[in-house]
Amino acid sequence: MDKEKKEESSAIHPAVAPLSYLLGTWKGEGEGGYPTINSFRYGEELHFSHPASGKPVIAYSHKTWKLDSGQPMHSESGYWRPKPDGSLEVVIAQSTGLAEVLKGTYSAEDNVIKLHSQVVANASKVREISRVYKIVNGDLHYVVQMATNLTTLQPHLKAVLKKL
């Protein structure tokens, strides 16, 4: 390992190390739907970074766009806080004004992260959100489900992204 790479990896907080495979930029396409809306496809770029603060935190952001026109769609950003015991808490602020606090687990063996909302704030319809992220053949796959005031927990988004 060259000196620069060694310094980079040694700067990763031990709590973040099991999730270091996320760090970087991912790009791909997704499909959205819900019983109450028409399904749609979208482009997405997702970014995970480990700020050089020495803290056990991963900064997260994503942006999405319409595949035909490139017009921006939903975006969100937040912080992922992994703990050495395999639990994880995440805060996310969405461009729609909705705020989420999620808790869950990660598995270092099969690279699966499961999150479920503890708090969904400033939402007119959304009551619950779950997010599952996993690595399959080196690609990042995720599924976001939501429950609204009218509908139980059901998929809203699924996407597959490649590391750039």
Per rule CB under 6 A, count of chain residues that contact ligand HEM: 19
Binds ligand HEM by CB under 6 A, chosen from 20, 25, 42, 135: 42
Rg (CA), the chain: 16
d(CA 161, CA 141): 6
Binds ligand HEM by CB under 6 A, chosen from 50, 88, 115, 156: 156
Under the binding rule (CB under 6 A), the answer on residue 91 touching ligand HEM is: no
Which helix (H) or strand (E) is 112 found in, with range? strand 112-121
- Length of the chain, please? 164
Show the binding pattern over residues 118-137: x = contacts ligand HEM (CB under 6 A), - = does not: -------xx--x--------
Q: At a CB cut-off of 8 Å and minimum separation 6, what does 138 contact?
A: 162, 163
Q: Which residues bind ligand HEM (CB under 6 A)?
A: 32, 34, 36-37, 40, 42, 64, 73-74, 94, 98, 125-126, 129, 144, 146, 148, 156-157
